[in-house]
Amino acid sequence: MAQADPTTGRSHGRRAVLRGTAAAGAALSLPLVGAAAPAQARRGRPSADWGVQAGDVTSSSGLVWVRSDRRARMLVETSATETFRNPRRWHGPLVGPDTDFTGRTALHGLPAGEQIHYRVTLADPDDPRRTGEPVYGTFRTAPHRRRDVRFLWSGDLAGQGWGINPDRGGYPIFAEMRGLNPDFFLNSGDAIYADSPIQERVELPDGGVWRNVTTEEKSKVAETLAEFRGNFRYNLLDRKLRDFNAQVPWIVQWDDHEVLNNWYPGEILDDDRYTVKDVSTLAARSLRAFSEYFPLGTLRPGEDGRVHRVVRHGPLLDVFVLDMRAYRNANSPGRQPDDAQGILGERQLEWLKRELSRSHATWKVIASDMPLGLVVPDGKTDYEAVAQGDPGAPLGRELQIAELLRHIKHRRITGTVWFTTDVHYTCAQRYDPDKAAFKDFAPFWEFVSGPMNAGGFAALDLDGTFGPDQKFVKAPTRANTPPTEGGQYFGQVDIDGSTGELTVRLREEGGAVLFTKTLVPQ
């Protein structure tokens, strides 16, 4: 049942922020495809037509990203107001072909709990007086004290061949999410579909035609570094996404389609679409492009790093970002009685247990790129996620999750809530030890939302090992329903600064709130 959407009452001038970023967004007028180069580019000045974005924002820091159309020096200025009177200056890197002309600048010493306005200017490295037009963005730093927090989450962007459709205005879901003015957006994976080519026309079930903007790199599966880079650039052709990026910082993780469907390290492909058969080679290229196109502090372009990390957002919230892809074992029937590697790998599991034990936040959001209790198949006999359809005692990858849940209970770690996407529908389930085969854990909730511009899929079975009690689900009844039939979802989370209560709303593109649940801190 749809419910009212309480979006008023936020501090820090929500309407003023929206007015300011609307003006900033007007500068991000990159056409969807095929237009002539802007005048400043023809004059030989660097251009930042791909917009700006911020990421991994804390109470005192953040990362700002930009892409140039040529070699350029990155300069960032920050201000407490849109006037940019007496701005602070941050000298960023020289961007060039080694990072696909992308660059990131780390901002430190920022005031906590404040709106930060920033602008990025690109300068000719041989003549600093030759600069392009500045590109503007804004974000809020995390607070030091208890304050209302809002974030959104979703994933699965432009999958199954449903790309940027000019008849729909591109990606309309980003305009809707931007209107809610969250503190940040949690992208739970499948930020691209490197294995899903975008064709110019797709026949719809009702006899109509879906039109796509497409590019050379998106016309085939991604294998080369250039093709993976082109997949990340593709989504930035959408104006609504660029406007969203200029206002809302991201916390981003990756899943399978950043490389290819259901991949695992060491896999050798049997797929005629690919000339590169070694999946680890493809994954390394994808991860490099991923590090270039997102501002993520633990993963630097061209260097070693990791996707899993903790992003702290004041006293009420820590976000534990998992990587269930890079350290997993091979997909299998999942019936092995011993499985130390599991879906997280031994080191990541120990890291997660340690960081959860150290956290003093009221709410500990576990950002998982895959669900726990939904049975996600990989072919006829193997399984892709944690659950494997056997409702009995933990086996296979379930053993690692059982160890984690036992640790949370025995260390008396409170306020854990799981958020994920991946399955292309939305649902909510409470995991109850009284209904589970494995009982040594405290009850917790898992919320699932997505996709954002991809095919919808039917609901999956539940595995009873951890006792999931599904309180809500909305899913199509057939595979790969187009976005024209609805089924595009994102979630909204509000934490009350006074009471500490956390309210989750499962939302559908178009404005409907499908399900609401308020959790009280323990």
Domain boundaries, the chain: 14-140, 149-519
Which CATH number does 14-140 carry? Answer: 2.60.40.380
Give the pLDDT of residue 43. 58
- Tell me the CA distances in angstroms from 104 to 50, 94, 294, 304, one per residue in order: 14, 10, 9, 16
Query: What mean pLDDT is reported for the chain?
Result: 92
7-46 tens-digit pLDDT: 333 333 333 333 333 333 333 344 443 333 443 444 589 9
Give the pLDDT of residue 349. 98
CA atoms within 13 A on the CB side of 123: 13
Give the pLDDT of residue 42. 43
Is the pLDDT at 110 greater than 80? The verdict is yes
446 φ/ψ angles, rounded to the nearest 5 degrees = -130, 130
Give the pLDDT of residue 1. 41
Cβ distance 293 to 230 under 8 Å?
Answer: no
Give the pLDDT of residue 424. 98
52-71 tens-digit pLDDT: 999 999 999 999 999 999 99
229, with CB counted inside 10 A (0-12, 13-18, 19+), is buried
254-289 tens-digit pLDDT: 999 999 999 999 999 999 999 999 999 999 999 999
379-419 tens-digit pLDDT: 999 999 999 999 999 999 999 999 999 999 999 999 999 99
80-94 average pLDDT score: 95
**DSSP-assigned states of every residue in 439-490:** --S--EEEEE---SBS-B-PPPPBPGGG-EEEEEEE--SSSSB-GGG---EE
d(CA 96, CA 100): 6
Topology (CATH) of 149-519:
Purple Acid Phosphatase; chain A, domain 2 (3.60.21)
Give the pLDDT of residue 44. 80
186-215 tens-digit pLDDT: 999 999 999 999 999 999 999 999 999 999
The two tokens of residue 460 are 């999956």
113-160 tens-digit pLDDT: 999 999 999 999 999 899 999 999 999 999 999 999 999 999 999 999
- Positive or negative, the CA dihedral 231, 491, 319, 496 is positive
